[in-house]
Each structure stands twice: as structure tokens, then as C-alpha cells.
Structure 1
């Protein structure tokens, strides 16, 4: 019987996980450019590198790839930070590569979408290093090199486990040639089974073999820890946002350049409070409010800003914005009065030039009635 995850749901629509695609491409490129060709090149049993690296001989032909693995794979017996990084992109065979890349393909897009491009890079490499540390902790004196993306991919699985508790995994289940079906299971069931059945239990029962259980556990746990911190930060930000007044949220959105968000928050703020904003922030906000059907609130805020006083340039900008809002609302008479005031308070300004371009048509329309 076999059980093979083949997809997950839901996935972010229209999102391209460039980081995960780049990681996948790099791993495949290393396999095609190094693993395959070097694996076909035999190394003489008297090559001094075999003795310098303490590479066991006499167990069969040694290839140039075997030598590279011993040179650049991570060995707890002789740890190196550079080897810790290079080992993440080396694989022992096609099956080893395919399994890791399948899991990267299934789970990586959601993680990258949630953490962002830079966050995905940092977490992938960081949990990969944590995986190396986990392997070294369980096998501190091992002279054998560890290679593969399994630890870093396990880190992504740990992130996924925490941040996507309600997602489903699509898996192929079968017993060839008797039956085959595709089933859907909660993602946490599948990932929990991977951690406990495939890694923790073998360690507890002293299983031996080529699998770096410590790397898988270290990567998964570190990824879950990072995700827990991300989730806690998100909760704290949500609580902070709820604790802010609507006006505070308007100001914060304006500072971030998010005019539409500011307009949405400003739809429950009084015109008088909005009118206290700097003119440079109020005028685009008023325009956005009017476009949301809040023209009366926008015009009220502009009137309060005019009553507050200020420079002629500010007054011209406020009158022009009021005129444009009134014009879009179909009140040509009131719009004309606002535009005329622009030309009166600051006749040499850019706002006055904009008003003059509109006034002839408006005055002509009024005169023809």
C-alpha cells in the first residue's frame, strides 16, 4: 500500500511563489549538473582525497560525486557553516530529490504567501540550519555526511502546520493493482503523522539507517516555532488595531499611504475631526470619501478645515477639492462658486489654473439656462 500527498487546498489565487520555484530550480540544477555527471566519474582508490576525508573505501567503486558529498556535505564530526548551507542543495539520488521537491511544491506556496518573499528565504535557510543542528545533536560524533533539503523542507512543514490549521491535503492512496483513490485529509493529520510516525518514533526506538531523523525533527520544530511567533505577532497587531480609535486608524493609514483604507475608516469619523487633518492629507482623503458615497462628510471636513484658517495656498487647495467633489455630484452651481474662490484667494497658483480650465464651460452652461 502507498500513501502519497499530491496537493493541498486552499491555495492563494493568482500568487506566484517565486522563492519556492527558485529553490526547486536550484536543487534540480545541482542534481542535473553535478550529481548525475559526477556520479559517472570513478575515483582511483589511491586518490589522496579519500584518505584526507576519511572516506571509506573497499565498499565498491567511489565516484567523483561521492567525494564531493564528503567534501561539501555536513559532517557533525567536522562541522562547517559553509557545508551546512551547501548540504541543503545536494541529494543522493532521484528519489531523494523528488520526495523533497514534491513537499516543497505542495506546501511552499502557502508559506511564501503568508511570510512574504524575504521571510520565506530567511525561514527556509534558517530552519535548514536548525535542521543541521538537530542532526548534530542526535549524532554528534558521526563522520558520515548529511545532504538533502529534507531539513529545510521540514521547516516549511512546521510553519504550515501552525499557520494553516484548517487546510486539507489531497493524497493518493492505493494498493496496486487492486485499488486506487484520491482522498482528502486535514493537513495537521498528515503533517503530524510525518513528524511522529516517520521521525519521533524511529528516534525513540533507536532506528538506524541513512535517514537524518534529527534534521527532520529540528527543521519541523524550528519552523513551528517561527510560525507561532508570527501568529502571536499577528494577534497582537489585531488587538492593537481594535484598541485604536477610528481617527487613529485613519491617521495610521494615511501615514502608510493607504488612502482607500483611510477613507473606509474615515466613514465613521466626524467631519470636524477629519477637518483637523493637514490639508495635504485631507484633500486626497476627501476625494476618496466622496468616491465611497460620503460626499457630505467630505465636504463637511473641507469646510471645517477652511474655518480653521491657514495659508492662501491651503485655502485654494481646499476650495478646488470641494469644487471637484460638487462637480462630480452634479451640483454645478455650488461647484462654480468654489472654483471662483480658488481664483480669488490664490490667483497665481496651480490650483487656480486648474479652476480656470473648468470655469468657462461651467459659466457658459449656467448662462445658457
Structure 2
């Protein structure tokens, strides 16, 4: 129904959000490597490095003996199923990541992003204890970025491509755009629980982002944009 295009929210504390762009570059590079693999090797990579609940819980042995079970709570976030999966996540990270990196600083933002990935994976695991399929994708970590954004900059304008009669760009407050996004996750969690989408990872990542933003933001960055 809508696609975010960019936001109107300049960065103020860092000269360049290089961690955000580095995460985008690494994630894209990993997918390019995946994409160049034969189909069987592509599938094997998702099994080896995706987060499989029964493997993390040690019900089933790790497919790669040298990889600790807990490591896939992070590695899964750098894998994607296809180009659309990758590009959607990277678009959201590009739009919202720079301001959260600005609000936290480079190192704290890197910790924040990886911690959100872990929290999202644990949320998925909690509600899918016996799942034997791999969770992959940066959606949970990016949802954390979105959670932090709505807490820190709810009134920032986000330009979205809205499909009303014809697609047109509309500026809307981040609170409305991201609030609508989280409501759709809650709706589909109950309306389409068997869909191949990790709804709990999205919700867990979003909640984790809100909580971590409180602890990791700079002191001079006020909540709710100062309003």
C-alpha cells in the first residue's frame, strides 16, 4: 500500500553514517555471494547460517560443527531469500539508519543493530520452538531501527509512495507511517500465521529497538523529538 522513499531529518552529530552504509554493503555483498551459488549451495547456506530454532535450542546438532549455535542469532540477519527481500530491507535501513546512528554514535549503533537482530531472532524462537526451517533476513534488525526512530523522531516527515488512485509521493509523520507498519505486522500475525514471514521477529525487533534506544541514545538527543 505504501513504499517509503526518503525522510526529511538531517543528521547533526556525525559527519557521515558509515556504519549504516557498511552494514548495507556487507549485507548486499553476502547476498551477491549467495546469488552466485548453485541453487543447492544457496539452500545449504541458509541452513548453515540461518537461525533454526531446534538447532539453537540444541535439539538438533549444528550443521557446521565449527560454528557455535548462538552465532546464527546474528549471521541470519545477513542472508536474504531474493532480491526483493534484500532491497526492501536495505531501503528501510537507508532511510532510517543514518538518524539512529547519528543519535547513538557509530559503535553504539553497531551494537544496537546486532542486538536488535538477536532480540528479533529470540522472539521468533520463543514462539516457534520446534521450527526446523531457517530464519533469514535483516527485517528484525531493521525493525529495531524503525522502533528507535519512532521513539526519537516521531514527527519527522517521511515521504512515502502511496497507492490511492495512482502512486503519488506523500509526506507523512514517521509516527503514522511506522505506526501503520507495526499494525500491519500485528494484523498479519493473526490473519496469516502460517505465511512464510517472521512476524514475531519483526515485532520483537521493533520492541527491542525502542527499549535499546532509551539506553544507547546520546544524552542531548531528546525523546519524541523534544515535543
* Coarse TM-score class (shorter-chain normalised): 0.7 to 0.9
Aligned residue number for residue 194 of structure 2: 208
Q: 1:72 aligns with which of 49, 55, 68?
A: 49
Go from structure 1 to structure 2 and tell me whether the alpha carbon gap of 1:143 and 1:196 turns closer, same or farther (over 3 Å shift).
same
Aligned residue number for residue 156 of structure 2: 167
SS at match of 1:77: helix
Asked whether 1:136 is paired with 2:125, we answer: yes
Aligned residue number for residue 210 of structure 2: 224
Aligned residue number for residue 10 of structure 1: 9
1:60-83 per-position Cα deviation (integer Å, ceiling 9, x unaligned): xxx111011111110011112111
Aligned residue number for residue 188 of structure 1: 175
Q: Following TM superposition, by how much is the alpha carbon of 1:151 offset from its aligned partner in structure 2, in angstroms?
A: 0.6
Question: How many aligned residue pairs are there?
Answer: 209
1:90-132 per-position Cα deviation (integer Å, ceiling 9, x unaligned): 0000000000000000000000001000111010000110000
The 10-residue stretch of structure 1 (92-101 or 68-77) with the greater mean CA deviation from structure 2: 68-77
Measured in 1, the distance between the counterparts of 2:144 and 2:207 equals 7
Measured in 2, the distance between the counterparts of 1:228 and 1:189 equals 21
Measured in 2, the distance between the counterparts of 1:226 and 1:83 equals 21
Measured in 1, the distance between the counterparts of 2:216 and 2:138 equals 23
TM-score, structure 2 normalization: 0.86
Which structure exhibits the higher relative contact order, with contacts defined as CA atoms closer than 8 Å and separated by 6 or more residues?
Answer: 2
SS at match of 1:8: strand
Aligned residue number for residue 29 of structure 2: 29
Q: 2:145 aligns with which of 135, 153, 156?
A: 156
Q: Following TM superposition, by how much is the alpha carbon of 1:232 offset from its aligned partner in structure 2, in angstroms?
A: 10
Go from structure 1 to structure 2 and tell me whether the alpha carbon gap of 1:232 and 1:95 turns closer, same or farther (over 3 Å shift).
closer
Measured in 1, the distance between the counterparts of 2:98 and 2:45 equals 31
Q: Following TM superposition, by how much is the alpha carbon of 1:136 offset from its aligned partner in structure 2, in angstroms?
A: 0.5
Measured in 2, the distance between the counterparts of 1:67 and 1:107 equals 32
Which is higher, the Rg of structure 1 or of structure 2? 1
Conserved? CA contact 2:162–2:170, under 8 Å: yes
1:214-255 per-position Cα deviation (integer Å, ceiling 9, x unaligned): 11011000000112345696599xxxxxxxxxxxxxxxxxxx
Structure 2 regions of 5+ residues with no counterpart?
Answer: 57-68, 223-227
RMSD: 2.0
Go from structure 1 to structure 2 and tell me whether the alpha carbon gap of 1:235 and 1:91 turns closer, same or farther (over 3 Å shift).
closer
Measured in 2, the distance between the counterparts of 1:148 and 1:235 equals 30
Structure 1 regions of 5+ residues with no counterpart?
Answer: 43-62, 237-369
Q: Name the structure where helix makes up a greater proportion of residues.
A: 1
SS at match of 2:55: coil
